[in-house]
A and B are shown apart, each in its own frame.
Chain A
Amino acid sequence: MSVPEPPMGLLAELTHRCPLQCPYCSNPLELERAAGELDTAAWLRVLDEAADLGVLQVHFSGGEPTARRDLPDLVRRAAERKLYSNLITSGVLLDERLLADLVEAGLDHVQLSFQDVETANAERIGGMVGAQAKKRTAAALIQRAGLPLTLNFVIHRQNVDHLPAMIALGAELGAARIEVAHVQYYGWGLVNRDRLLPSRDQLDAATAEVEAARARFKGRMVIDYVTPDYYAERPKACMGGWGRRFINITPTGKVLPCHAAETLPGLNFPSVRDENLAAIWRSAPAFERYRGTEWMAEPCRSCDRREVDWGGCRCQALALTGDAANADPACALSPHHRTMQAAIAAADRSPSSDFVYRRIGAAPTAQA
């Protein structure tokens, strides 16, 4: 196999610790404990290896990355190596002192999440009382520090109707960018799918609102919109294709092509504790497994979109069809596409709003 192009972005999941418990968290159901986390020296070495490999942007994420006290040191190393640094945070641990340290270290951008605009509902979804006021304070601090700010809203059945107010909040808080992302249904999101999947009417209203707001804020605020696969006809190019653009490192140092890849059976993900990042990227069997188009079966193999969507999401293919090498069932050409309509119908019937919250030990033993 030919040498792959270097990755563009590194998602550094510094920790799984987080004061919030969002029921659609992208972390795995099996959360890592603090004792297993990479230490500062290991992360500094990883950042050097990432820069040498050709990574251009590093996204410090978690869990809640500000729970790591060495975050400013990691940001400083990223800046020294000219890696564009992005902090993906809930904001609830961010105070003036920490933010000043991060600015001084050379942080380039902050993505701040809100679970809703309505305080009671936001704090019910996030599972943390008092979070909303802390987030608003964090937004003000970020603005005052002169850092570019993106507001992130993960939207679903239980908050999507507030989208106009979410976009207005972005403008009020001076965000240059808003990311409106429908929940992606694997891991915790899949466990809570019946409570989260929006109705067709909700989706259409949200899409129309985004389009109207884009026109209204043109030139002042960019609005990115991530649509839900369950209403799609064609899959997304998950991570821009397996092992093509992104590299993900877990709190314990495992290297993955995407943050949910550990759900896939039969793949052995190497650790930065044992191997150099470049060697892993270029030749680890887990990265080779679904890279490119050779692994594909029909309907992907002969499809003229095979290098557009790269077959979609492997984790979703596994979760809904039982085989990670199948086409993503988001594709209308997949024989399993109807499982998505069935899931929508189930969510439309479900009266429940009670979440299974993201906590250590809270995951159901047999995944749905």
Chain B
Amino acid sequence: MSAPPDETVPALGRGVKFRFDEVRQSWVLLAPERLFMPDEQAVEILKLVDGVRSLGVIIDDLAGRFNAPRDLVARDVATMLGGLADKGAISL
């Protein structure tokens, strides 16, 4: 799969909600008849998916905050969001 360009603006899919669950003390991604328990890294990415920020902005933000190589972050973001896009939870 080729990575989407940096200008792409990812958004939660229609009917998808990302929220903190007080009972489990963890973030959950709720979608039509399925749900995901994102790991810590995925949570940091999803927190930046707001339908406004572009992939480029998200990658810059994460690379800066976590002091990580940009191309590595870009690959992780593309893989994580691409997987959720295939399941209809994210639109790219």
B residues in contact (CB < 8 Å) with A: 13-15, 17, 19, 21, 23-24, 28, 30, 32-33, 35, 85-88, 92
Contacts and interface: CB of A to CB of B under 8 A. Distances in A.
Contact of A6 (B24, B87, B88): B24
Contacts of A53: 23
A82 B32 CA distance: 14
A219 B86 contact: yes
Contacts of A6: 23-24
Given A6-B23, A148-B14, A56 B32 contact: no
B30 to A, nearest CB: 4
Nearest to B14: A148
Contact of A176 (B21, B24, B28, B32): B32
B34 to A, nearest CB: 8
A219 B82 CA distance: 10
Given A6-B23, A54-B23, A219-B86, A176 B13 contact: yes
Given A108-B15, A222-B88, A54 B21 contact: yes
A82 B24 CA distance: 14
Contacts of B33: 57, 59, 86, 109, 111, 150, 177, 179, 224
Nearest to A218: B86
11 contacts: A6-B23, A6-B24, A109-B15, A109-B32, A111-B33, A148-B14, A150-B32, A176-B14, A176-B15, A177-B32, A222-B88
A8 interface: yes
Nearest to B37: A8
Given A54-B23, A111-B33, A84 B88 contact: no
Interface in A134-160: 146-148, 150
A176 B88 contact: yes
A53 B23 CA distance: 7
Contacts of A57: 30, 33, 35
A53 B17 CA distance: 19
B82 to A, nearest CB: 10
Contacts of A219: 85-86, 92
A6 B21 CA distance: 12
B23 A148 contact: no
Interface in A31-63: 52-54, 56-57, 59
A34 to B, nearest CB: 27
Contacts of A109: 15, 32-33
A148 B32 contact: yes
Contacts of A146: 14
A56 B35 contact: yes
